[in-house]
Chain A
Amino acid sequence: MEDATPVLELRGITKQFPGVLANDAIDLDLARGEIHALLGENGAGKSTLMNILFGLYKPDEGEILLEGRRVSFSSAKEAIAAGIGMVHQHFMLIPVMTVAENIVLGHEPVRAGVVLDERAARRRVEDVARTFKFAVDPAARVDEITVGQQQRVEIMKALYRNANILILDEPTAVLTPQEAFDLFEILRTLRREGISIIFISHKLNEVLEIADRITVLRRGKVIETVPGKGATEEGLARAMVGRDVLLRVEKAPSTPGGPLLDVDELHVSDDRDLETVHGLSFEVHAGEIVGLAGIDGNGQAELVEAIVGLRQPTAGRVVVAGENVTRGGPRHLIDVGVGHIPGDRQRRGLVLDFSIAENLSLHAYRKPPESRLGWLSPRRIVARARILIREYDIRGGGAQTIARSLSGGNQQKVVIAREIAAEPRVLVASQPTRGLDVGAIEYVHRRLVEERDEQKAVLLVSLELEEIRSLSDRILVIYEGELVGEFSPETSEEELGLAMTGGGRRGEEVPA
Chain B
Amino acid sequence: MTVGTPQPETEGAPDQTVAARFALWQRAGGIATPLATALFAFLVAGLVVLATGHNPLQTYRAIFNGAGLNWLFPWVHGATRQTAAFNLQETGLLIIPLVLTGLAVAFAFRSGLFNIGGQGQYIVGIVTGTQMGVWFASLPGPVHIFLAVTAAALAGAVWGGIAGILRATVGAHEVISTIMLNWIAIWVGSYLIGFGGPFQDSSQPGVPVSREIASNAHLPVFWGSPLLQGLDIGFFVALGTLVVYWLVIRRTTLGFEVRAVGYNPDAAQNAGIGVARNYFIAMAISGGFAGLAGAMDILGWQFRLDVTTVQTASQVAFTGIAVALLGRNTAVGTFLAAALFAGLINGTASRNLDPSVFPPELAGNLTRIIQGLVVLFVAADVLILYVWNFRRKLKRRRAAPTTAPVAE
Residues on A close to B: CB < 8 A? Answer: 42-43, 47, 50-51, 54-58, 74-77, 80, 86-92, 94, 105-107, 169-170, 308, 310, 329-335, 340, 342, 344, 346-354, 358, 362-363, 365-366, 371, 374-376, 378, 402, 404, 408, 435
- Can you list 21 A-B pairs with a CB-CB distance of less than 8 A? A54-B6, A56-B405, A86-B4, A88-B4, A105-B2, A169-B6, A333-B272, A346-B11, A347-B264, A349-B270, A351-B260, A351-B263, A351-B267, A352-B13, A352-B264, A353-B264, A363-B271, A363-B272, A402-B27, A408-B10, A435-B10
| A329 to B399 CA separation, bound complex (whole angstroms) | 42
| A55 to B403 CA separation, bound complex (whole angstroms) | 11
| A365 to B253 CA separation, bound complex (whole angstroms) | 7
Residues of A with C-beta under 8 A to B252: 371, 374-376
Residues of A with C-beta under 8 A to B273: 331
When A51-B6, A92-B3, A352-B264 are in contact, do A76 and B253 touch as well, CB less than 8 Å? no
- Which of B8, B268, B403: most chain A CB closer than 10 A? B268
Interface SS of B by simple majority: loop
Closest to A363 in B: B271
Residues of B with C-beta under 8 A to A86: 3-4
Residues on B close to A: CB < 8 A? Answer: 1-11, 13-14, 16, 19-20, 23-24, 27, 250-256, 259-260, 263-264, 266-274, 398-407
B6 touches A352 (CB 8 A): no
A64 to chain B, nearest CB (A): 15
When A351-B268, A352-B20 are in contact, do A75 and B1 touch as well, CB less than 8 Å? no
Closest to B22 in A: A353
B17 to chain A, nearest CB (A): 9
| A91 to B254 CA separation, bound complex (whole angstroms) | 45
B20 touches A347 (CB 8 A): no
When A57-B407, A58-B406, A88-B5 are in contact, do A349 and B267 touch as well, CB less than 8 Å? yes
B13 touches A362 (CB 8 A): no
Sample of 5 further A-B pairs with CB below 8 A, known A56-B400, A87-B4, A353-B24: A54-B6, A75-B401, A86-B3, A88-B5, A308-B270
A90 touches B5 (CB 8 A): yes
Closest to B251 in A: A376
B268 touches A74 (CB 8 A): no
Residues of B with C-beta under 8 A to A358: 256, 260
B404 touches A47 (CB 8 A): no
| A86 to B406 CA separation, bound complex (whole angstroms) | 19
A502 to chain B, nearest CB (A): 29
B20 touches A43 (CB 8 A): no
Closest to B273 in A: A331
Which are the 8 A-B pairs with shortest beta-carbon distances? A106-B1, A331-B272, A75-B404, A88-B4, A362-B271, A92-B4, A330-B272, A353-B263
B104 to chain A, nearest CB (A): 22
When A56-B6, A76-B401, A376-B253 are in contact, do A340 and B270 touch as well, CB less than 8 Å? yes
A147 to chain B, nearest CB (A): 16
Residues of A with C-beta under 8 A to B20: 352-353
| A346 to B399 CA separation, bound complex (whole angstroms) | 25
Residues of B with C-beta under 8 A to A169: 6-7
A77 touches B401 (CB 8 A): yes
| A47 to B229 CA separation, bound complex (whole angstroms) | 69
A92 touches B5 (CB 8 A): yes
| A97 to B270 CA separation, bound complex (whole angstroms) | 39
Closest to B5 in A: A88
Closest to B6 in A: A51
Residues of B with C-beta under 8 A to A90: 4-5, 7
A378 touches B250 (CB 8 A): yes
B3 touches A352 (CB 8 A): no
A366 touches B266 (CB 8 A): no
A374 touches B254 (CB 8 A): yes
A42 touches B2 (CB 8 A): no
B272 touches A329 (CB 8 A): yes
Residues of B with C-beta under 8 A to A58: 406-407
Closest to A350 in B: B267
A352 touches B263 (CB 8 A): yes
A74 touches B401 (CB 8 A): no
A287 to chain B, nearest CB (A): 26
| A374 to B19 CA separation, bound complex (whole angstroms) | 23
Partner of A75, one of B255, B259, B402: B402
| A353 to B18 CA separation, bound complex (whole angstroms) | 12
When A47-B6, A347-B264, A404-B13 are in contact, do A371 and B253 touch as well, CB less than 8 Å? yes
Partner of B267, one of A74, A75, A331, A362: A362
A56 touches B256 (CB 8 A): no
When A74-B406, A353-B23 are in contact, do A348 and B270 touch as well, CB less than 8 Å? yes
When A56-B405, A346-B13 are in contact, do A334 and B251 touch as well, CB less than 8 Å? no
Closest to B403 in A: A75
B251 touches A378 (CB 8 A): yes
Closest to A309 in B: B272
B259 touches A354 (CB 8 A): yes
Closest to B19 in A: A353
A347 touches B14 (CB 8 A): yes
| A330 to B256 CA separation, bound complex (whole angstroms) | 17
| A354 to B405 CA separation, bound complex (whole angstroms) | 35
Closest to B20 in A: A353
